[in-house]
Amino acid sequence: MLDAMGLRLWSPAGAAAAPAPAASPAAAPAPASVPVLVTAPGAVPAPATLGARPDVSALGWPALREAVAGCRACGLCAGRTQTVFGTGSEQAQWMVVGEAPGEQEDRQGEPFVGPAGQLLDRMLAALELTRAAEAAVPPARRVYIANTLKCRPPRNRNPEPAELAQCEPYLARQVELLQPRLILAMGRFAVRALLGSEEPIGRLRGRVHRYRGVPLIVTYHPAYLLRNLPDKARAWEDLCLAAGVAEAAG
Ligand code: URA
């Protein structure tokens, strides 16, 4: 059947079969090794069975969005209202990466629409940046916003390593398609997904990192800043550094 659809099921040698759906997303065991559905380049992947993820490395924006919407690669799909793909202009020169959708994002299908998002929008506005994808806004002032996870973890718990690993190819393809001048990685899970680092934010901020050649600045997550007001000044320094790097990359 997969052959007939132009799909090949690839599984690493010795890998176990895809795990059966878990009863509860919170209790879903991390798959030890996960098969990947390989599609013909440009084809829209068929909805995957739990534990399988389509190969998205050649997809354009619409097919990528569709692949995310149909994703069942980990147990988080069982608890979501909808996936949260990303928002902003596909011509944006800035990319902001957060952690995962919360309750409001899960309901509305857009990242950062709750209190943390309002703070993020204010921080961006201070640099005359916006998620609005209007023609009047030049690409240098536009921001594309995405999360490391496209589905809400139950009760907003921290993302698990297997969930981050399953979702990373979606984010990687978003970066490839967008080709931003700068990535702002907010919080430790964005850092973990993009830099593979477990170091504290405080040790990583203040310098330029790279993700697949794109300059990347590390800063605090806005939800953290809402609870730790003194670090807002440091986050502002990070934004100013990011602005300088984006400008220099132009
Ligand atoms: N926090 C995130 O990291 N992302 C969102 O979309 C909302 C809150």
Round to the nearest angstrom and report the end-to-end CA distance of the chain. 48
Of the residues 147, 155, 220, which should be mutated to test ligand 1's pocket, given the most ligand atoms within 8 Å of the CB? 147
**Structural contact between residues 102 and 152, judged by C-beta atoms closer than 8 angstroms:** yes
pLDDT, tens digit, 9 for 90 and up, residues 113-163:
999 999 999 999 999 999 999 989 999 999 999 999 999 999 999 999 999
Residue 221 CA, ligand 1 centroid: distance in Å: 9
CATH number for the domain spanning 214: value is 3.40.470.10
pLDDT at 44 > cutoff 90:
no
**Cα separation of 220 and 238, whole Å?**
9
What integer pLDDT is reported at residue 91 of this predicted model? 96
Of the residues 87, 99, 191, which should be mutated to test ligand 1's pocket, given the most ligand atoms within 8 Å of the CB? 99
Q: Quick check: is 44 in a domain?
A: no
pTM above 0.75, yes or no: yes
Residue 215 CA, ligand 1 centroid: distance in Å: 22
Sequence-distant (6+) residues with CB within 8 A of 179 are: 214
Q: Quick check: is 1 in a domain?
A: no
Q: Quick check: is 56 in a domain?
A: no
Q: Quick check: is 199 in a domain?
A: yes
223 lines ligand 1 (CB under 6 A): yes
- Split at pLDDT 50, 70, 90, the class of 54 is confident
Residue 199 CA, ligand 1 centroid: distance in Å: 20
pLDDT at 35 > cutoff 70:
no
What integer pLDDT is reported at residue 49 of this predicted model? 62
Q: Quick check: is 245 in a domain?
A: yes
**Cα separation of 16 and 224, whole Å?**
39
Q: Supply the mean pLDDT for the chain.
A: 85
Q: Quick check: is 208 in a domain?
A: yes
pLDDT at 92 > cutoff 50:
yes
pLDDT at 99 > cutoff 60:
yes
**Cα separation of 38 and 124, whole Å?**
38
Q: Considering its fold, how many domains does the chain have in total?
A: 1
Q: Quick check: is 54 in a domain?
A: no
Q: Quick check: is 185 in a domain?
A: yes
Torsion angle, alpha carbons of 241, 179, 126, 118, to 10: -120
**What is the domain range of residue 184?**
61-249
pLDDT, tens digit, 9 for 90 and up, residues 167-194:
999 999 999 999 999 999 999 999 999 9
